[in-house]
A and B are shown apart, each in its own frame.
Chain A
Amino acid sequence: MGVPLIDIRGLTVDFDAGQRVVRALHGVDLAIHGGEAVGLVGESGSGKSVTWLAALGLLGNRARIGGEVLFEGRNLVGAPASDLEAVRGARIAMIFQDPSSSLNPVYRIGQQLAEALQLHRGMSGAAALAEAARLLDRVGIADATRRLRDYPHELSGGMNQRVMIAMALSGQPRILVADEPTTALDATIQAQILELLQEIRRDSAMALVLISHDLGVVAENTDRVCVMYAGRIVEDAPIATIFEAPAHPYTSGLLAALPDLEGPRRRLLAIPGVVPEPWNLPLGCSFAPRCPEFERACEAAVPPAIELVHGHRAACIHARSGSA
């Protein structure tokens, strides 16, 4: 597949919480190639968003970041602020969960788009507004020129997310990271936004990282999925493999909790227990206390990720015998 567009290696994040330091990310390895669509799935607190916020240096000064994020010949971890600013928005854009509060309430949509265009493409004045209108049109907002004069509170959540996407496109990025882009939206709007993201990816050869807690959403919109649990990627595989031969019991658990559209009606199965707190992780495998296949050996050490077949990794001691 050649050289990946971005290569995250052994990424760790520690939050300095006053008395103690809490590790939120325990060495994440993730490589993404140009034009690829990758889903990141896991419960809240599993480290999906933190991975990308850390990669872009957006976690603030209370976070200590280790490992490497190799992107276009540079390591973004520890890079100077000016280097990171040149990557953010321009090379790697990010959209967030709550679009209405991700836009600044005191500026018009047009001003906020023009700001991004000025930053990434050096456009200003009428040219920037014309391009802003074109972008709004591109993301399916009707009457774009008029909408430029609106404030975020005058638009619906779905419209605001379209504006955020338009803003992300303004830098013509290589990667778009969509962090739970539809969680705050109605189901019908959700489908439209995901469809829009698909369409843009097809047209622009941009890579898409879709962060979601919903395996169903990820399955429909990406080619490959990384399942995260308690700050680690526990399984990384093509979508088809995940559904046909999940190697990690946590992945199996997520699948069992997913309703089938075809086939007989069945009871959805919840995974028992809760995600452990990051400062109180169990010994060995973090999933062990909730795992149906638990055995003593699980507590001995954190299981390393094993490549089962090419393109399918899992971090479980049962993985080799289980499904490969």
Chain B
Amino acid sequence: MMRYLAGRLLRALLTIFLVVTFAFFVLRLSGDPALLIMSVDAPPESIEAFRKSWGLDQPIWMQYLAYIGHALTGDLGNSMRDGRPAIQLVLERVPATLAITVPAFFLKIAIGVPAGIYAALHRNSFADRLTMLLSVAGFTMPSFVLALLLVLVFSVQLGWLPSSGSEGMANAILPIVTLGAAGAAILARFTRSAMLEVLGQPYIRAASAKGLSWRRVVTEHALPNAAIPTTTIIGFMVGTLIAGAVVVESVFAWPGIGRLLVVSVANRDLAVVQTILLFVAATMVSANIIVDFVYGWIDPRMRTAPR
């Protein structure tokens, strides 16, 4: 078990390392931050001085080694725009992002899972078809389209909710609903197919043949098995808590990490972008590890398999 754990952790670290490395090179090869941050008519010597002060005049592999060296000591560099440590800038934005992604996460589960179960149990009924229609609409529609539709209805027409900003709870509602709707649609479809798969298994018929009521067959025999694949997709959604709201935050001018990422990429604020990507990779990887453990907990076949 310990060896498995160590291997898993090592792979997680390797994944994060690769993401960071890739981000480093892509960012540096895709544009010069000095030209973007300094004004257009800045004299060449001050641009040169800017490059020198951020180490951009060094060969790229030197820059890379310096970056990794600093990162290992916990120093992720400073923002080129306001000079503060990048990590501080990013951490400031975490609460705002979580304030919309966490409620959206629970909204997805609260709507998606029951809808999927209901649709599976009433396969081919009107309710099933309606659920699947809404589900397809929900996950094919780009989130900015849904966001604009919601703004049109609830802000412009009805005037119930603000269309953007971050002054209070009311501002969070439309971003949460936008994020939640798409996730619920995916989860409903996934839960339905997991449930249908399980309902077709021989042990379901055997449980009925045993004399259990259909209600008990569903709740005690089908649901725990359907939970196994559904956990994967929910785990993946945990991984998107930090970075899953880029578009929605931009549309609603919500001051979270997603918006910081968009602004920082546009400005070539290298340290900030890299720090955000490091965070994103770390949450994704942690979510995967959590899923692995939950798997072992709910599926006894996983627990004993490596024995």
Seen from chain A, the residues whose Cβ lies within 8 Å of a Cβ on chain B are 53, 56, 58, 81-82, 85-90, 93-94, 96-98, 101-106, 108, 115-116, 119-120, 151, 153-154, 164, 167, 171
Nearest-CB distance from B96 to chain A (Å)? 40
Known: A58-B205, A106-B299. A88 touches B221 (CB 8 A): no
Chain B window 208-227, contacts with chain A (Cβ cutoff 8 Å), 1 for yes, 0 for no:
11111110000011001100
Which residues on the A side are within 8 Å of B205 (C-beta)?
A: 53, 58, 96, 102
Identify the closest chain B residue to A88 (Cβ): B211
CB-based contact A151/B208 at 8 Å: no
C-alpha spacing A98/B213, complex, angstroms: 22
Q: Do B202 and A102 have beta carbons less than 8 Å apart?
A: yes
Residue B201 lies at the interface, judged by CB distance under 8 Å to chain A: yes
> Which of A53, A89, A154 neighbours the largest number of chain B CB atoms within 10 Å of its CB?
A89
Q: Are B203 and A89 in contact, with the CB atoms below 8 A?
A: no
Number of interface residues of B (CB under 8 A): 23
Query: Cβ of B301 < 8 Å from any Cβ of A?
Result: yes
Question: Given A96-B202, A104-B203, do A56 and B209 touch, yes or no (CB 8 Å)?
Answer: yes
Chain B contact residues, majority secondary structure: helix
Cross-interface CB contact of A105 among B211, B213, B300, cutoff 8 Å = B300
The residue from A102, A103, A119 contacting B212, defined by CB atoms under 8 A apart? A119
Which B residues touch A87, using CB under 8 A? 211
B110 located at the interface, meaning its Cβ lies under 8 Å from any Cβ of chain A in the complex: no
A86–B300 contact, CB under 8 A? no
B208 in contact with A120 (CB, 8 Å): no
Distance in Å: Cβ of A155 to nearest Cβ of chain B: 12
A58 touches B208 (CB 8 A): yes
25 A/B residue pairs, CB under 8 Å, sorted by A: A58-B205, A58-B209, A81-B214, A85-B213, A86-B211, A87-B211, A88-B209, A88-B211, A89-B209, A90-B211, A94-B206, A94-B209, A96-B202, A101-B203, A104-B221, A105-B203, A106-B298, A106-B299, A106-B300, A108-B300, A115-B212, A151-B301, A153-B301, A153-B304, A171-B211
- How far does the alpha carbon of A93 sit from the alpha carbon of B228 in the complex, in Å? 29
Docked CA distance A269–B220 (Å): 49
| Distance between A181 CB and nearest chain B CB, rounded to angstroms | 12
B298: A residues at CB distance < 8 A? 106
Q: Do B201 and A119 touch across chains, with their CB atoms under 8 A apart?
A: no
Contact of B224 with A106 in the complex, beta carbons under 8 Å: yes
The 8 closest A-B pairs by CB, nearest first: A89-B211, A102-B206, A88-B211, A89-B210, A101-B202, A94-B209, A151-B300, A104-B203
Extra inter-chain contacts (11) besides given A106-B224, A106-B300, A119-B212, CB under 8 Å: A86-B211, A88-B208, A89-B210, A102-B205, A106-B225, A106-B299, A108-B300, A116-B211, A119-B211, A120-B211, A153-B301
* Distance between Cα atoms of A220 and B195 in the complex (Å): 41
- Which residues of B sit under 8 angstroms from A81, Cβ to Cβ? 213-214
Residues of B within 8 A of A103 (CB): 203, 206
Answer whether A116 and B210 are a contact pair too, CB < 8 Å, given A153-B304, A154-B304: yes
Contacts of A167 in B (CB 8 A): 210
B209 touches A151 (CB 8 A): no
Interface membership of B289, Cβ < 8 A: no
CB distance from A86 to the nearest CB of B (A): 7
- Residue picked from B210, B298, B299, most chain A C-beta under 10 Å: B210
Chain B residues near A90 (CB, 8 Å)? 211
Contacts of B304 on A, CB cut-off 8 Å?
151, 153-154
Q: How far is the CB of B21 from chain A (nearest CB, A)?
A: 41
Residues in B whose Cβ lies below 8 Å from that of A153: 300-301, 304
Q: Complex: how many Å from CA A56 to CA B207?
A: 13
Q: Specify the chain A residue showing the minimal Cβ separation from B209.
A: A94
Cβ of A231 to closest chain B Cβ, rounded Å: 20
Closest CB in chain A relative to B307 CB, distance in Å: 9
Quick one: given A102-B202, A104-B221, are A119 and B210 in contact (CB under 8 Å)? yes
A82: which B residues are within 8 A, CB to CB? Answer: 213
